[in-house]
Amino acid sequence: MIVAKTSQMAANFDRGETVALSLSYHNKSVIRFISSVITKILARNNLIYLQDTIITILREIIVNAVKANSKRLFFRFQNLDMLDEEQYTLGMKNFKDFIIQNQEFIEDELKKSDLRVLVYLKKFESGFSIHVQNNSPIHPDELKRIKMRIQKAKVYNDFSEVYCDVSDDNEGEGLGLVLTILFLKNTGIGANSFQVSSNGKVTQASIAVPFQLKPAKVMNKIQQQILDEVRDLPTFPENIIELEKLCSNPEVDYRIIADRISMDPSLSVSVLKLSNSAAFITRRRIETINEAINIIGLKNLQAIIIASSARSILDERYSSFRQVWDHCNKTAFYARQLALTFGREKIAQNVYMAGLLHDLGKIVLLSTSSALSEWMMTLVSNRKMRSSTVIEEVSIGISHSSIGEQIARKWNLPEYLVQAIQWHHAPLGCAEEYRDVVYITYLANKMCSIEDKKFDYYYLEEDALDRFGLNSEREFMALHSNLRMKYLEHNEPKY
């Protein structure tokens, strides 16, 4: 239900309709629902790397809005007037303890009351805006204080400055605001995109997110550097291109291919390694290139040759990122299994290959921006971000899917592969004829992210689940755990 509803909302948003959500309390299921809508909206607009940032900021704003409503509720219970200076001070003395000690009670009472938090999402030509409203008046002094904090926060450059300054803030609300501003600044969304206003009845906090982020100057340089890197990447070696052609000829003599591969020791090693990887579940270890061809077939071999060459070009140039490739291997395994499960045997080797290479943009991204890693690490540890890649992308303003797409085009990789690399986080954007390949790569990759707790079933696009008849969370989970087990069983390296 949630998957369908949030996909529908994201679609409405894309058509330019205002999406409105109403809530009384920020419990887990409410936050999950909102995160799901936001994730889908961002993915569809190639901004998936803003997921963590926007969800963190939005959650912060919603929590504050609910808190403002709780405050109003509390003042009603106490028969105090919020707008009266003396009564306000009196009420605030006990309010903090009240919300800490009575969370469940507050949740129930808010539900029964007329106090609501409304979230509006609206798309316009150059970006979109999020408005969070609560129907409690804000004390003019408090609004003034918030505005002053926002002003002050714009001056900070990094978190260390913040900690020195905010530690004397006894209300504790300051920190959330300052971090929000700092995040907006560092992501290139811009500190001015955050506004708080009140008309005496309703208080509103808004963020405007442009589709084209303006990275800070230093980030702009890095973006250029990445594009230069992609331009300077070597093309595929001649012998690989020839080998690939040979593999597409069904009449070919296997021995010619085996000989050619054997002439290139590093290619032989990686072909054997990948042939013995979990994807093919062979009964015994493949020892020679001849066996590899016989057991996994020419089509799979062709995929392996391309994937091996792509990887070795990147590994030679940059430090090897085992984690990324390990993740890709697992995605490839899942993708192949999914194709077989969904009766899409014909594209099994295509999705396998897409899995192997879908994150190749990440390698270039991670390598090029490593000069920044220290600064990134500060951000990561302070905000408990789950991965630094996200922040790097956020700061640089270019996604690893876009980088990957450019590399794939440069290497003249087949169109289905280019599409899978480009759309693996936003599958709805792909061309119609590649939908099966892209959707399966997407699902396989997301299964890995779910295992790493970076993604949630509820964030999945309904269309991708529907296409393969996955109608419920239970069905999806059963399939996922089945694949996971298979992967673990066969993942002991045989070579």
Q: Which residues bind Fe ion (CB under 5 A)?
A: 359, 445
**Residue 400 Cα distances to 85, 321, 362, 418, 460, angstroms:** 53, 14, 5, 13, 19
Q: How far is the CB of 6 from Fe ion (least distance, A)?
A: 21
Q: How far is the CB of 446 from Fe ion (least distance, A)?
A: 9
| C-beta closer to Fe ion: residue 62 or 428 | 428
Q: How far is the CB of 338 from Fe ion (least distance, A)?
A: 15
Q: How far is the CB of 104 from Fe ion (least distance, A)?
A: 39
| C-beta closer to Fe ion: residue 88 or 334 | 334
Q: How far is the CB of 203 from Fe ion (least distance, A)?
A: 38
| C-beta closer to Fe ion: residue 73 or 363 | 363
| C-beta closer to Fe ion: residue 109 or 359 | 359
| C-beta closer to Fe ion: residue 55 or 92 | 55
Q: How far is the CB of 69 from Fe ion (least distance, A)?
A: 38
| C-beta closer to Fe ion: residue 229 or 359 | 359
Q: How far is the CB of 98 from Fe ion (least distance, A)?
A: 45
| C-beta closer to Fe ion: residue 454 or 486 | 454
The answer for residues whose C-beta is within 8 angstroms of residue 114's C-beta and 6 or more apart is 135
| C-beta closer to Fe ion: residue 40 or 123 | 40
| C-beta closer to Fe ion: residue 419 or 445 | 445
What are the CB-based long-range contacts (under 8 Å, 24+) for 425-429? Answer: 425/43, 425/48, 425/399, 425/401, 426/43, 426/44, 426/45, 426/46, 426/48, 426/401, 427/461, 427/463, 427/464, 428/44, 428/461, 428/463, 429/44, 429/46
Q: How far is the CB of 93 from Fe ion (least distance, A)?
A: 50
**Rounded to an integer, what distance in angstroms lies between the CA atom of residue 53 and that of residue 60?**
11
**Rounded to an integer, what distance in angstroms lies between the CA atom of residue 229 and that of residue 279?**
31
Q: How far is the CB of 328 from Fe ion (least distance, A)?
A: 7
